[in-house]
Structure 1
Amino acid sequence: MAELLIVDTDSSCTSEIRRIVENSPYSFLRIYEATTAKRAMMMLKQSRPSALLLDVSLPDMDGITLGKNALHLYPDLSIIVITGLKMFEMVHSAINSGFSAYLLKPLTKNEVLSTLDRVLKPEIKKEINQTVHDGESNNFDLRKPIQSAVQYIQLHYNESLTLKNIADKVYLSPSYFSKSFKEEIGMTFVEYLSWIRVQKSKNMLRMTSLPIDVIANNTGFANSSYFATTFKKIEGKTPTQYREHFF
Structure 2
Amino acid sequence: MLKVVIADLEPIQRKCIKALLQERYRRQVVVLETDNGQEACEYVEKDNIDLVIMDHRLTGMNGLTSAVEMRRHNPLQKLMVFTMEEDPQLKKSFNKLGVKQYIKKPSRPRILIDLISKGLSETPQLPARKVTLKISEIVQFIEGNLNRDLTLTYVAEKMNLSSYYLSKMFKKELGVNFVKYVTDRKMEKAKELLKNFDVPIINIAFAIGYAEPSYFTKVFKRVENMTPSQYRNQFYR
What is the TM-score of this pair, normalised by structure 2? 0.51
The answer to whether residue 198 in structure 2 is matched with residue 127 in structure 1 is no
Checking the alignment, whether the CA contact within 8 Å between 1:2 and 1:127 is kept in structure 2 is: no
- Per-residue CA shift, 1:69-103, capped at 9, x if unaligned? 10111111111011112222222221122113111
Secondary structure (helix, strand or coil) at the match of 1:24 reads helix
Structure 1 partner of 2:214: 143
Secondary structure (helix, strand or coil) at the match of 1:6 reads strand
Secondary structure (helix, strand or coil) at the match of 2:91 reads helix
Checking the alignment, whether the CA contact within 8 Å between 1:48 and 1:74 is kept in structure 2 is: no
Between 26-35 and 14-23, the greater mean CA deviation after superposition: 26-35
Runs of 5+ consecutive residues of structure 2 not aligned to the other structure: 125-161, 168-176, 183-211, 217-237
Secondary structure (helix, strand or coil) at the match of 1:68 reads helix
- Per-residue CA shift, 1:191-214, capped at 9, x if unaligned? xxxxxxxxxxxxxxxxxxxxxxxx
- What are the residue-to-residue correspondences of 1:169-208 with 2, within 5 Å? none
2:166 and 2:74 map into 1 onto residues whose CA distance is 19
**What amino acid is the match of 2:64?**
I
Distance 1:128 1:28, change over 3 A: farther
CA deviation after TM superposition for structure 1 residue 36, in Å: 0.9
Structure 1 partner of 2:5: 5
Structure 1 partner of 2:41: 41
2:33 and 2:17 map into 1 onto residues whose CA distance is 11
**What amino acid is the match of 2:8?**
D
CA deviation after TM superposition for structure 1 residue 111, in Å: 2.6
Distance 1:114 1:35, change over 3 A: same
Structure 1 partner of 2:17: 17
**What amino acid is the match of 1:62?**
N
2:166 and 2:73 map into 1 onto residues whose CA distance is 22
**What amino acid is the match of 1:36?**
N
Larger-gyration structure (1/2): 2
**What amino acid is the match of 2:73?**
L
2:83 and 2:120 map into 1 onto residues whose CA distance is 20
Structure 1 partner of 2:32: 32
CA deviation after TM superposition for structure 1 residue 134, in Å: 9.2
Checking the alignment, whether the CA contact within 8 Å between 1:37 and 1:61 is kept in structure 2 is: yes
Structure 2 partner of 1:118: 118
CA deviation after TM superposition for structure 1 residue 2, in Å: 2.3
Runs of 5+ consecutive residues of structure 1 not aligned to the other structure: 146-247
Provide the alpha-carbon RMSD of the alignment: 3.4
**What amino acid is the match of 1:19?**
A
1:129 and 1:73 map into 2 onto residues whose CA distance is 16
**What amino acid is the match of 1:100?**
K
Checking the alignment, whether the CA contact within 8 Å between 1:21 and 1:27 is kept in structure 2 is: no
**What amino acid is the match of 2:86?**
K
2:74 and 2:166 map into 1 onto residues whose CA distance is 19
2:69 and 2:37 map into 1 onto residues whose CA distance is 10
1:126 and 1:38 map into 2 onto residues whose CA distance is 24
**What amino acid is the match of 2:69?**
N
- Per-residue CA shift, 1:202-233, capped at 9, x if unaligned? xxxxxxxxxxxxxxxxxxxxxxxxxxxxxxxx
Structure 1 partner of 2:106: 106
Checking the alignment, whether the CA contact within 8 Å between 1:4 and 1:29 is kept in structure 2 is: yes
What is the TM-score of this pair, normalised by structure 1? 0.49
Checking the alignment, whether the CA contact within 8 Å between 2:43 and 2:49 is kept in structure 1 is: no
- What are the residue-to-residue correspondences of 1:88-107 with 2, within 5 Å? 88-107=88-107
CA deviation after TM superposition for structure 1 residue 68, in Å: 1.1
Structure 2 partner of 1:86: 86
Distance 1:65 1:129, change over 3 A: closer
Identity %: 14
2:14 and 2:22 map into 1 onto residues whose CA distance is 12
Structure 1 partner of 2:71: 71
